[in-house]
Amino acid sequence: MRVAIVTGSSRGLGASTAIKCAERGIGVVVTYNNNPEKADAVVAAIAATGGTAVALKLDVGDSQSFPAFLDAVKEQLQAVWGRKTFDYLVNNAGYGLFNPIATVTEEQFDGLFNVHLKGPFFLTQALLPLMEDGGHVVNLTSATSRVATAGVAPYAAFKGGLEVLTRYMAKEFGERRIRANSIAPGAIRTELGGGLNGEFEAMLAGQTALGRVGEPEEIGGVIASLLSDENRWINAQNIEVSGGYII
């Protein structure tokens, strides 16, 4: 059984990705930060449909914790799947923060940097020796790197950096036949940045060609499909999945 590690899969897009991967017969390492019970619910939902998943704690903003996470991954791969390696890494964990450039604090800037750029960089580095040749890294970027939507400058800048990093991963990992792509969602109904209220949702729907916000499964399904062999020639791409956001 192929195995995916999906960071930040206790809720939102990560949870949907974990479930969609399991539907395709992929084993999943679900990770949570503050919500272990939600991660357990994702694991239970996967088990209820005959899939296999485990939940592990991971703070992507704390690179010092990565060696211990690596050990926990090794232990679970062996115990649950009888394997020493895994196949797919989805760097999804993240959070939103609205604050104009004029008032962003250094602490807010560093927090976003650690989770959205430094974390995916060093987590991928740490997990690379365990990734099977022919594997795949998927990074979650954002349509906010293509269009400027006021109030999310550091977030969007680091997502832009992650998009560039994705191409470098594809270049450097290619000799091991490991692909790297990024998925850039538009506005999707999750709890990111405090979630959607009526007025905010109406504004985002109005900015989207298809006239609504997206649902998490409309991202999770794309990621699960991208991992599959039928899409094996897609590499080094940033793929926007947004229903046509601000075009």
Ligand X SMILES: NC(=O)c1ccc[n+]([C@@H]2O[C@H](COP(=O)([O-])OP(=O)(O)OC[C@H]3O[C@@H](n4cnc5c(N)ncnc54)[C@H](OP(=O)(O)O)[C@@H]3O)[C@@H](O)[C@H]2O)c1
Active-site option among 32, 88, 155, 245: 155
238 sits near ligand X (criterion: CB under 6 A): no
How far is residue 22's CA from residue 83's CA, in Å, rounded to a whole number? 17
Q: Which stretch binds ligand X (CB under 6 A): 65-73, 126-134, 190-198, 230-238?
A: 190-198
Give catalytic status of residue 155 as yes or no: yes
- What's the alpha-carbon Rg for the chain, to the nearest Å? 17
| Bridge partners, residue 241, by sequence | 185
Site residue total, ligand X (CB under 6 A): 30
Among 4, 12, 146, 163, binds ligand X (CB under 6 A): 12
Q: Helix, strand, coil % (nearest 5) of the chain?
A: 50, 20, 30
192 sits near ligand X (criterion: CB under 6 A): yes
Site string for ligand X, 156-185 (x = CB under 6 A): -----------------------------x
Closest CA to 61 of 112, 2, 7: 112
- The sign of the CA dihedral 149, 152, 157, 162 is negative
| Bridge partners, residue 5, by sequence | 29, 89
95 sits near ligand X (criterion: CB under 6 A): yes
191 sits near ligand X (criterion: CB under 6 A): yes
Per CB under 6 A, which of residues 39..58 are in contact with ligand X? 58
Q: Which stretch binds ligand X (CB under 6 A): 30-38, 101-109, 172-180, 232-240?
A: 30-38
| Bridge partners, residue 183, by sequence | 140, 239
235 sits near ligand X (criterion: CB under 6 A): no
How far is residue 221's CA from residue 183's CA, in Å, rounded to a whole number? 12
Task: Please give the residue ranges that form the binding site for ligand X (CB under 6 A).
Answer: 7-14, 32-35, 38, 58-61, 92-95, 115, 140, 142, 185, 187-188, 190-192
